[in-house]
């Protein structure tokens, strides 16, 4: 089993493998075959489920639904050939900067 520090990368590598070597029995491959619209629909569904779980306040449900959302976001990144490290780098860049200031610094 992969430890916490690299589970994101391990999952991403499986997604890339499913992209390169799709099988009919792979859920990930079916998402990738469905294209961007199918992936975005799933992200929207999972984000809504996170909101509902959070509103309900059940910790386990929040964790499960957040894991589903993160997984589908990783599928999007894989489909777009964006490594998770790009997101981590952006978070590192923003760390310690006011969210208001950071957003104001973005090009219009």
Q: DSSP state, 2?
A: -
CATH number for the domain spanning 23: value is 1.10.287.1080
Classify residue 98: in a domain, yes or no.
no
Residue 101 pLDDT grade (very low, low, confident, very high; cuts 50, 70, 90): confident
pTM, entire model: 0.88
Predicted pLDDT of residue 27: 98
How far is residue 89's CA from residue 68's CA, in Å, rounded to a whole number?
22
User: Which residues lie closer than 8 Å to 29 by C-beta, 6 or more apart?
Assistant: 18, 19, 22, 23
In a domain, 36, yes or no: yes
Q: How high is the pLDDT of residue 3? A: 64
Domain hosting 74: range is 7-83
Tell me if 13 is assigned to some domain. yes
What average pLDDT does the chain have? 94
Number of domains the chain is built from: 1
User: How much is the average pLDDT of 80-85?
Assistant: 97
3-state helix, strand, coil in the chain (%, to 5): 80, 0, 20
């Amino acid at each position: 089993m992969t430890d916490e520090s690299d589970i994101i990368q391990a999952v991403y590598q499986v997604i890339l493998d499913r992209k390169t070597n799709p099988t009919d029995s792979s859920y990930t491959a079916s998402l990738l075959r469905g294209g961007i619209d199918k992936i975005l629909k799933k992200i929207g569904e999972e984000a809504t489920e996170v909101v509902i779980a959070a509103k309900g306040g059940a910790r386990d449900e929040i964790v499960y639904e957040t894991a589903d959302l993160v997984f589908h976001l990783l599928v999007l990144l894989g489909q777009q050939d964006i490594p998770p490290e790009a997101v981590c780098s952006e978070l590192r860049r923003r760390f310690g900067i006011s969210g208001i200031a950071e957003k104001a610094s973005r090009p219009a």
